Amino acid sequence: MKSTVALIALLVLSILLSSGFYTVSETEQAIITQFGMPVGEPVKDAGLHWKTPFIQTVNRIEKRVLEWDGESTPMTTKNKVFVMVDVFARWEIVDPLVFFRQLTDENRAISRLNGIIGSETRIVIARHDFIEAVRTTKDRKVVRDGPAPVEGAAVSTAEARIGVLPAINQGRSELEAEIFANAAPKVKELGIKILDVRLKRIDYDASVSQSIYQRMITERQQIAERYRSEGAGEAAKINGERERDLATIESEAYRKVQELEGGADAKATEIYAKAYNQTPEAAELFEFKQTMEAYKKVITDDTTMIFTTDSELFRYLKSSSQQPKAGPGGTVEFTPLHKLPTLMEVGR
């Protein structure tokens, strides 16, 4: 009988001890509740702990850094661009007692973060232009595609606007910092601390994507057309310089040829003069020969020439067997060369 009672007492004691002792790991903290109400301080130290059996309950709360990943949400920027914004954040529970009283569990915490961070993101995006959320920093040196305009050249307003990006005053990093600064005080009241907020993805809304792409294509085409026109102008300039250089070379070559031919003719004349000036007969032969050469060049089948009777060019024809007839005014009509006597006959 005594052994049975002792066994029952030992069994009851083991049950009490097993329901009274509990462990807390390094990755969690605990809130002890009694009839649903928190009692005592939160248990943050890892190890074995004691609670009142059956009456008190252990509520375990995560101690590690947690993830919040919001859904992609449509928003409107300051310059009326509809975009889809996807935000994520990292947070942790720093005051488990406040957290338990306000939210109880992580699911409710995620729901509250959706409202707080999502609302602050929407407000910040609406205060800034689209380019502010796209660029990581506000540092940008290149603002225009293509070569810089020539100094002093006139540039139209439309051309100057092609490829030009608006100025950036803050940048994406400062927008993220602004969202973080606005949301952090609000979640602190829930026993939560936000560690970081980042814009994961920003994209055009499907309703405006096609028009945006078409505008980008149009701007690229305008830039390409400007390049082509500048190339055509440069090609025309090069061709003009080539034609000018070619004309200069040809004129210089022609001048050189004329100088060489003139020098050769002068040399030949000098040689002829020395050869035919040795005797009067040689000089007369040279004069006769030059006159005959002039006849060949001047007189053709369809040539009609009128000479006076005292013409120097006509004097070798006066002794020809076929005398020309004098016309009115003391002029004569000349017969074509092929109808005249041979040179040898004229020479006689």
Domain of 11, in residue numbers: 2-62
Q: Which of 25, 45, 62 is the last residue of a domain?
A: 62
Q: Write out the H or E segment, with its range, that includes residue 223.
A: helix 206-276
Map tokens 């661009």 to a residue.
81
| pLDDT score recorded for residue 166 | 66
- Tell whether 71 is covered by a domain: yes
Give every CB contact of residue 270 below 8 A, 6+ residues apart in sequence.
Answer: none
Map tokens 């701007």 to a residue.
219
164 and 94 in one domain? yes
- Tell whether 48 is covered by a domain: yes
| pLDDT score recorded for residue 157 | 47
Q: What is the CA radius of gyration of the chain?
A: 56
Give the chain's domain count.
4
- Tell whether 180 is covered by a domain: yes
Q: What is the DSSP string of 283-303?
A: HHHHHHHHHHHHHHHH--TT-
| pLDDT score recorded for residue 148 | 46
Give every CB contact of residue 176 below 8 A, 6+ residues apart in sequence.
Answer: 197, 198, 199
255 and 294 in one domain? no
Low-confidence ranges of the chain (pLDDT < 70): 12-13, 16-17, 137-166, 307, 309, 313-348
Q: What are phi and psi of 216, to 5 degrees?
A: -65, -40
Count CA atoms closer than 13 A to 46's CA, side-chain side: 6
| pLDDT score recorded for residue 109 | 95
- Using CA atoms, how far residue 237 sits from 155, 243, 251, in Å, is 20, 10, 21
Query: Which token pair is 235?
Result: 């090609």
Query: Which token pair is 91?
Result: 């947070």
- Tell whether 211 is covered by a domain: no
138 and 72 in one domain? yes
- Tell whether 215 is covered by a domain: no
136 and 199 in one domain? yes
- Tell whether 301 is covered by a domain: yes
Report the sign of the C-alpha dihedral through residues 217, 220, 225, 228, in that order: negative
Q: Which of 246, 276, 306 is the last residue of a domain?
A: 276
- Tell whether 213 is covered by a domain: no
168 and 80 in one domain? yes
- Tell whether 30 is covered by a domain: yes
For 179, other C-beta atoms within 10 Å of its C-beta total 25
225 and 174 in one domain? no
Say if residues 294 and 317 touch (Cβ distance below 8 Å). Answer: no
- Using CA atoms, how far residue 323 sits from 290, 291, 312, 320, in Å, is 22, 18, 16, 6
- Using CA atoms, how far residue 139 sits from 76, 128, 287, in Å, is 24, 17, 93
| pLDDT score recorded for residue 121 | 95
| pLDDT score recorded for residue 317 | 66
Residue 63 identity (one-letter amino acid): K
314 and 186 in one domain? no
| pLDDT score recorded for residue 62 | 94
